[in-house]
Amino acid sequence: MSEGTVVVEDVSDALSEAREDVARFLLSYKFAIDTLMAKVNILNEEFRYTNDHNPIEHVNSRLKSPTSILEKARRRGVPLDLESISKEILDIAGIRVTCSFVSDTYTIRDMLSGHEDIEVVEERDYVRSPKPNGYRSLHLLVRTPVRMSDRTVEVPVEIQIRTIAMDFWASLEHKIYYKYAKSVPQDLLDELRAAAETANRLDETMERLHDEVRELGDRTQEPLPGPEELRRLPIADELLGALAKRVNARRTD
């Protein structure tokens, strides 16, 4: 075997190993998203069937592409190796939870941070202290363990929790900045800030109305769900029948 052949094989082996390392690196972030999404979905299901109010409206996630990760690393002057990127680029994986009311954002925050395997590394509260442009949202940087085949890694995930109104405003702002390549005319920036204040007033009004309705319900002591409402739950008919018999038996005792 010639020296040139050995060099080619060495390069090929190195490239193959590098591809495997990158794949495992990205998979660890995907698995972290999967783990946290499962926890959020469990909360969502629990609230749907056991509470009079579900604070979760929508949940979505995103994983930055390798190209996007490299572009951000170059902009920040981060060395292009996986160890440096994992330490410096902390928003590779992200989850967004959209809620109905402002108070819901903190309810979700408290529930997620209560998990033993979720470490809150940083919290940025743009709900109470919005950005100058009007942006509001609750940002959490968390770490969660991901168990790979040969090791356990602590993976950072950014969680954004916001109301529907906040999310609508943020989506519109993103589209405007994209359309104008971040050089947005001042009059549009002023309108965006005004729209952010309008969205905030809407959130405050909806929160107040929600509280009033909830207080009214507490005073009237609404009855528990009847048979028709219970049938809408995903509970086996046999179990419902057994429970009904036990209730009837108690009534006749």
Strands across the sheet containing 93-99: 56-63, 93-99, 152-163, 138-147, 119-125
Asked whether 88 and 76 are in contact (CB, 8 A), the reply is yes
Measured between alpha carbons, how far is 173 from 189 in angstroms, rounded to an integer?
9
Contact yes or no for 48/54 (Cβ under 8 A):
yes
Rg (CA), the chain: 25
Catalytic-labelled residue, pool 116, 158, 222, 228: 158
Measured CA to CA in angstroms, residue 250 lies from 178, 207, 243, 246, 247 at distances of 65, 41, 11, 6, 5
Q: How far apart are the first and last CA of the chain?
A: 93
Verify whether residue 9 is a known catalytic residue.
no
Question: Is 123:138 a contact under the CB 8 Å cutoff?
Answer: yes
Catalytic residues: 158
